[in-house]
């Protein structure tokens, strides 16, 4: 395919995303998946591929894959089996990787992304279970030259789900949005931990297709896709990296075409540090892998399998939750998004909103508590045992026991910095809101002392009211509710203004 102008083509992108399932043990043996340990300690005869050892399927990994399938609206296969994918590489002790081939656990799903306000459906071709290989560490003893390679089998046998999309993505930015959405859903499912190193890795296929070959509905005929030269980019380890790698690769291909060169089908490596892709090897074909059935593992099928799939439930996903918060609690989209940013935050909000007004609860959870936590670099999950203390503090504010200002700037901060309970702090500090009688006396004093401002207010200057409220706040040393002062001020001024009329 030779083009003269770069504007004549658009990128067609498909992804293979490898997701590490959050399990305690590996997929085919009982070895721990714990990170941050010495190399080659989480190993056994099975994951080292020693002769005579046999794999056992980890039920937690199967459950995680079914959950992912349900979350992406995929069909969970009535029958699913494992295959051996043969290739020789030092990180693969058995000489083959156990994966799934013609009977993957999930087929035909979809993920919807929001591209500048428009919904876009990205079809998922399949999702299957497989084991991760080990990891290689290239060592240089100086001058940048690689002297030797070390291999660590701690990762060998870590459970992965590989999610394969149809080539429905049309821009690097869409890839970023897709991966971010996927990651968010996976975290809510509780099957994935984005803090783990290498927990989400992607390979991207990209071809340039003539705009003239794109159908009106945005689809592209299979024949055209098959004849296009496809470049596969390996080693993308984050969704921001994915966008960068594709921006680079697409402009490289366009430049090659513009200068009369040709794009050849190949596999390229994304070099995150240098921000470029480099040629790796010509892409293997399926035949090179000599797939054959892994007879040491059971085929999952039959009545018990149907029943097993049926009994796996998934929680409400972030987008559905966001829409529900928006509708049910009448929050703005921005606040609803903040409150569903993580599962823990959304659960805390739902706990608080049971008792209080939705807007008030949202301000306390999204702005005040999250704000103070973020400032201290604490996740809400880290203070799970104290959520009831936060709820009690919010109740004191709602009940008028203390002002919002003091609750935030004194009590909440001390709670977080000293670990005290709200009651302990309330006992130590004099923060109880002034009673009605006291506030009314201060209001009368302020009216007496600020006759000009009262007159301004009566002429319709609303700023004057803010000033008067401020003056009363000063007298109460901040221990009164501004809305309450506002109400009393209006009541007294409208009942005769500065004539110091006694109301009680
Ligand atoms: Zn093992």
Ligand 1 midpoint to CA 29 (Å) = 5
CB half-sphere exposure, 35, CA atoms < 13 A: 11
Q: What is the mean pLDDT of residues 192-209?
A: 88
Ligand 1 midpoint to CA 106 (Å) = 26
* Domain boundaries along the sequence of the chain: 6-285, 318-428, 436-499
pLDDT at 96: 93
Q: Name the residue among 236, 180, 172 with its Cα closest to residue 12.
A: 172
Ligand 1 midpoint to CA 103 (Å) = 25
Ligand 1 midpoint to CA 164 (Å) = 27
pLDDT in tens, 153-176: 999 999 999 999 999 999 999 999
Instruction: Report yes or no: 123 and 108 within 8 Å, Cβ to Cβ.
Output: yes
Ligand 1 midpoint to CA 130 (Å) = 15
Decide: helix, strand or coil at residue 6.
helix
Ligand 1 midpoint to CA 46 (Å) = 5
Ligand 1 midpoint to CA 320 (Å) = 39
Ligand 1 midpoint to CA 44 (Å) = 4
Instruction: Report yes or no: 280 and 203 within 8 Å, Cβ to Cβ.
Output: no
Which residue bears the tokens 């149907």?
306
Instruction: Report yes or no: 269 and 238 within 8 Å, Cβ to Cβ.
Output: no
Local structure of residue 283 (DSSP, 8 states): P
pLDDT in tens, 413-459: 988 888 888 888 888 877 666 667 677 778 888 888 888 888 888 88
Neighbours of 377 (CB within 10 A): 7
Ligand 1 midpoint to CA 53 (Å) = 10
Instruction: Report yes or no: 309 and 106 within 8 Å, Cβ to Cβ.
Output: no
Ligand 1 midpoint to CA 200 (Å) = 22
Ligand 1 midpoint to CA 284 (Å) = 29
Ligand 1 midpoint to CA 355 (Å) = 49
Q: Mind spelling out the 3-state secondary structure of 165-229? A: ECCCECCHHHHHHHHHHHHHHHHHHCCCCCCCCCCEEEEEEEEEEEHHHECCCCCECHHHHHHCC
Q: Cα–Cα–Cα angle for 62, 68, 72, nearest 5°?
A: 145
pLDDT band at 19; cut points 50, 70, 90 = very high
Neighbours of 442 (CB within 10 A): 20
Ligand 1 midpoint to CA 89 (Å) = 19
Whether pLDDT at 500 is above 50: no
pLDDT at 431: 66
Ligand 1 midpoint to CA 158 (Å) = 9
Burial environment of residue 278 by CB neighbours within 10 A (0 to 12, 13 to 18, 19 or more): exposed
Whether pLDDT at 16 is above 80: yes
pLDDT in tens, 361-406: 898 998 888 888 889 888 888 888 888 889 988 888 877 778 888 8
Architecture in CATH of 436-499: Orthogonal Bundle (1.10)
pLDDT in tens, 87-127: 888 889 999 999 999 999 999 999 999 888 888 999 999 99
């Amino acid at each position: 395919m030779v083009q003269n102008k770069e504007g004549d083509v658009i990128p067609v992108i498909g992804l293979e995303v490898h997701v590490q399932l959050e399990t305690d043990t590996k997929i085919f043996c009982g070895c721990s998946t714990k990170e941050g340990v010495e190399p080659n300690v989480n190993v056994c005869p099975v994951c080292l591929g020693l002769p005579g050892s046999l794999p056992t399927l980890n039920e937690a990994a199967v459950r995680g894959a079914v959950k992912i399938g349900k979350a992406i609206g995929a069909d969970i296969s009535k029958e699913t089996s494992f295959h051996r994918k043969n290739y020789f590489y030092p990180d693969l002790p058995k000489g083959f990787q156990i994966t799934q081939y013609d009977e993957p656990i999930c087929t035909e799903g979809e993920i919807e992304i929001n591209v500048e306000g428009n919904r876009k459906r990205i079809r998922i071709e399949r999702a299957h279970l497989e084991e991760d290989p080990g990891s290689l560490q290239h060592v240089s003893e100086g001058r940048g030259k690689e002297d030797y390679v070390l291999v660590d089998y701690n990762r060998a046998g870590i459970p992965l789900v590989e999610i394969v999309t149809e080539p429905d993505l049309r821009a690097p930015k869409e890839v970023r949005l897709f991966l971010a959405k996927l990651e968010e859903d996976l975290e809510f499912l509780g099957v994935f931990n984005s803090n783990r190193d290498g927990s989400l890795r992607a390979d991207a296929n990209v071809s340039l297709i003539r705009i003239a070959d794109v159908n009106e509905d945005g689809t592209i005929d299979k024949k055209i896709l098959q004849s296009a030269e496809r470049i596969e980019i390996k080693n993308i380890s984050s969704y921001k990296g994915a966008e960068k790698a594709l921006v680079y690769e697409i402009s490289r291909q366009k430049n090659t075409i513009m200068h009369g060169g040709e794009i050849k089908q190949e596999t390229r490596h994304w070099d995150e540090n240098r921000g470029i892709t480099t040629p790796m090897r010509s892409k293997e074909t399926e035949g090179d892998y000599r797939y054959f059935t892994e007879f040491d593992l059971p085929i999952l099928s039959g009545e018990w399998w149907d029943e097993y799939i049926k009994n796996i439930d998934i929680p409400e996903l972030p987008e559905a939750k966001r829409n529900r918060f928006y509708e049910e609690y009448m929050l703005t989209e921005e606040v609803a998004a903040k409150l569903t940013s993580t599962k823990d935050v959304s659960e805390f909000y739902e706990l608080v909103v049971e008792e209080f007004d939705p807007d008030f609860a949202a301000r306390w959870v999204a702005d005040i508590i999250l704000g103070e936590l973020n400032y201290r670099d604490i996740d809400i999950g880290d203070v799970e045992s104290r959520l009831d203390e936060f709820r009690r503090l919010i109740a004191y504010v709602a009940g008028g026991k203390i002002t919002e200002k003091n609750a935030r700037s004194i009590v909440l901060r001390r709670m977080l910095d000293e670990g005290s309970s709200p009651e302990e702090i309330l006992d130590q500090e004099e923060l109880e809101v002034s009673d009605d009688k006291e506030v009314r006396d201060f209001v009368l004093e302020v009216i007496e002392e600020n006759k000009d401002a009262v007159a301004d207010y009566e002429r319709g200057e609303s700023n004057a009211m803010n000033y008067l409220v401020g003056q009363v706040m000063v007298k109460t040393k901040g221990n009164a509710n501004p809305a309450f002062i506002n109400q009393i001020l209006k009541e007294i001024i409208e009942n005769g203004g500065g004539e110091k009329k006694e109301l009680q």
